[in-house]
Amino acid sequence: MKTKVAIIGAGPSGLLLGQLLTRAGIDNIIIDNKPKEYILGRIRAGVLEQGAVAMLEEAGVAEKMRREGLVHEGFDISFDGQSHRMNLEKYSGGKTVMVYGQTEVTRDLMEAREKAGAITVYAAEKVKVHDFDRSRPYVTFHHVGRDVRLDCDFIAGCDGFHGVCRASVPKGAITNYERVYPFGWLGLLADVPPVHHELIYAHHERGFALCSQRSLTRSRYYIQCSLDDTVDAWSDDLFWEELKRRLDPKIAARMVTGPSIEKSIAPLRSFVAEPLRFGTMFLAGDAGHIVPPTGAKGLNLAASDVRYLFDAFVDYYKGQSVKGIEAYSSRALLRIWKAERFSWWMTNLLHTFPDASGFDRKMQRTDFDYLISSDAAQRSLAENYVGLPY
């Protein structure tokens, strides 16, 4: 098999890159070691920056999002019961965010790819990347009883944090920066109406809480939990009781509860790999970086990586220029670190840290008081939340 761009990973970053390349007439093949059903079964984020929305428009997969997604002009943030609405539209020059689940984004991209007749290989085994330090890289894998070799010009590593691409880079060629947080998020998905028309981020002495949503009839809620916790230890009733304790009593009183569709615990970490280019292989999305979900940047950072990588491939194939390819890593990392900073700041502001001193807690509270009293601080938050320019 031969192609121009071999994309490893059929998550949203790989699918979005593939869709854009296909529409630009640049041949590509996507390979993933998971079945299609498994990929669609993963529950992920649902807040899209304007830049990500524009890219889905460009990819021709925005019709359902525009019909079913929810435009949010702000969100509520509270600290020990004191609430304040962050007016994103006011402080960002009229920008908003779109609430539309990552699962739906993935499904829309999969359907568009199938309609276009582009090749995706699911459930590939023993995926390996070869010779990416040379001009003729290739990918090998086992599929449906046979060994396959895929020759290509470039490899796009969109295969996530535990994928084969970053793991294949020699240790001396890459530097990893990481902070692991001493807590996780217990998330619950339920077919109940959202408790509020916008998101609620809440700090409480018992821990962080987030009221989110996927639609007008499906809600996604989170509470900060210990890394030693297990899903089995949390019944639905226990989850709802704890969530209500961490919210404004007026909000908690109108919450509609119901049986969970899905429950899971996600540990929180900040992670960046540098560089993101290794000869003819490029890392994008979670393969190159992870952010705590507090700032809603994970999927959005993947989209900006794809923007830079797609533009680089277009420059190479349409403009016979290598400038975009050579600049990809530095351009992407500049934006990545800014998003990492914002997500780190939101995480530190809103969570309860087990080793926090009295001074730490006072500074945390003062940070919140400054935020809600300063137009400049709210403008900074809004600018970052709706998404910095690409």
Q: Strand 97-99 relative to strand 47-48: parallel, antiparallel, unpaired? A: antiparallel
- Position 294 in a domain: yes
187 with 210, same domain: the answer is yes
- Position 84 in a domain: no
Task: Report which DSSP code applies to 353.
Answer: P
- Position 83 in a domain: no
Confidence at residue 46, expressed as pLDDT on a 0 to 100 scale:
86
132 with 171, same domain: the answer is yes
217 with 295, same domain: the answer is no
- Position 314 in a domain: yes
Confidence at residue 32, expressed as pLDDT on a 0 to 100 scale:
98
Q: Is the pLDDT of residue 43 over 90?
A: no
Max intra-chain CA distance, the chain: 64
CATH number for the domain spanning 125: value is 3.50.50.60
pLDDT band at 181 (very low <50, low <70, confident <90, very high): very high
Residues tagged active-site: 72, 201, 293, 297, 385
pLDDT band at 44 (very low <50, low <70, confident <90, very high): confident
163 with 289, same domain: the answer is yes
Give pLDDT tens digits for 58-68.
999 999 999 99
Q: Is the pLDDT of residue 36 over 80?
A: yes
Give pLDDT tens digits for 193-241.
999 999 999 999 999 999 999 899 999 999 999 999 999 999 999 999 9
- Position 251 in a domain: yes
DSSP 174-212: -EEEEEEEEEEEEEEEESS--SSSS-EEEE-TT--EEEE
Mention every residue, 6+ apart, whose C-beta is less than 8 A from residue 147. 140, 141
Q: What integer is the mean pLDDT of 186-199?
A: 96
Confidence at residue 206, expressed as pLDDT on a 0 to 100 scale:
97
Confidence at residue 142, expressed as pLDDT on a 0 to 100 scale:
98
Expressed as residue numbers, the domain containing 25 is: 5-71+97-178+269-349
115 with 138, same domain: the answer is yes
190 with 283, same domain: the answer is no
Give pLDDT tens digits for 343-382.
999 999 999 999 999 999 999 999 999 999 999 999 999 9
The runs of H, that is alpha helices, within the chain are 12-23, 36-41, 50-58, 63-68, 88-91, 102-116, 164-167, 236-245, 249-253, 298-319, 323-350, 358-373, 375-386
Give pLDDT tens digits for 265-274.
999 999 999 9
Give pLDDT tens digits for 254-299.
999 999 999 999 999 999 999 999 999 999 999 999 999 998 999 9
195 with 328, same domain: the answer is no
20 with 155, same domain: the answer is yes
Rounded mean pLDDT of the chain?
96
Q: Strand 70-72 relative to strand 97-99: parallel, antiparallel, unpaired? A: antiparallel
145 with 263, same domain: the answer is no
146 with 197, same domain: the answer is no
Confidence at residue 41, expressed as pLDDT on a 0 to 100 scale:
85
Q: How many domains in the chain?
A: 2
24 with 162, same domain: the answer is yes
Give pLDDT tens digits for 58-101.
999 999 999 999 999 999 999 998 999 999 999 999 999 999 99
